[in-house]
Amino acid sequence: MPNAMIETRIRGRIEPFLDPIGRWLARLGITPMFLTVTGLVLAIVGAVLVAQAAVLAGGLVFLAGSALDGLDGTVARVTGTASRRGALIDSLADRVGETAMWGAIAFWLSDTPRLVMACIFCLAGALLTSYLRAKAEAVGADGSGGFIGRGERVVLMAVGLIFGIMEPVLWVLVAGVWLTVAQRFRVIWQRIED
């Protein structure tokens, strides 16, 4: 199954640059939990701004929060403090932040029912993508990969908001997340043994 670009291609290439940042943050006393919680708070603040039609500011704040949240794993790795509980909290924070933003975008676009439905389809596909990965791991299969992961969703969402091109981005995301759901389901189905 093809893997999301940020998940495999980009992340692997930028990790050597992220590790020094992670060590610097750790020396400042910044913990992975602090980064996770701060990233979530910023995602929610970004969502509130978007809901109030401050779309550019909301997109920038959401992107900043997502960038901070992306460093929590780096800090945990370089300090040797990675844990399953930390991963659980990080995963929950990711889902809450993304759900808040999809709700805010739907509220902002509430005058256009087709775009509200597109937001609902994006949110449902994003949640199912995460669910399929978790379900696969629960039965001992690899549920990662797919056409578009959380990193791509966050970047595209922020681009749509910041550059005022949310409608075309929404349709790209609808297609991308549901293609990913189908890809993950097919691969997991093949890997599961009855």
83-102 residue pLDDT tens: 889 889 999 999 999 999 99
Degrees (nearest 5) of the Cα angle 16, 20, 26?
A: 135
Which range of 25-29, 57-61, 189-193 scores highest in mean pLDDT? It is 57-61
Question: pTM here?
Answer: 0.89
Q: What pLDDT sits at residue 189?
A: 86
Q: Residue 172 pLDDT > 70, yes or no? A: yes
Structure tokens at 66: 């997502």
pLDDT band at 173 (very low <50, low <70, confident <90, very high): very high
Task: Give the Cα separation of 173 and 176 in Å (integer).
Answer: 5
Q: How far is CA 93 from the centre of its chain?
A: 10
Considering the domain 5-191 in this protein, what is its CATH number? 1.20.120.1760
Q: What pLDDT sits at residue 6?
A: 59
Task: Give the Cα separation of 1 and 183 in Å (integer).
Answer: 7
DSSP-based three-state secondary structure for 61: helix
pLDDT band at 8 (very low <50, low <70, confident <90, very high): low
| Helix locations, the chain, DSSP H | 11-27, 32-51, 55-69, 72-79, 84-108, 113-138, 150-162, 166-191
Active-site residue among 69, 94, 111, 194?
A: 94
Our answer to whether residue 72 is catalytic in this structure is no
Among candidates 87, 49, 86, 85, which has minimal Cα distance to 65?
49
Q: How many Cβ atoms from other residues are within 10 Å of residue 105's Cβ?
A: 29
Domain boundaries, the chain: 5-191
Q: Residue 108 pLDDT > 90, yes or no? A: yes
Q: What pLDDT sits at residue 55?
A: 97
Residue 33 or 69, more confident: 33
User: In the predicted model, what is the mean pLDDT of residues 138-148?
Assistant: 79
Q: What pLDDT sits at residue 10?
A: 64
CA distances to 21, 59, 70, 119, 181 from 67, rounded to whole Å, are 12, 12, 5, 22, 25
pLDDT band at 63 (very low <50, low <70, confident <90, very high): very high
Residue 147 or 157, more confident: 157
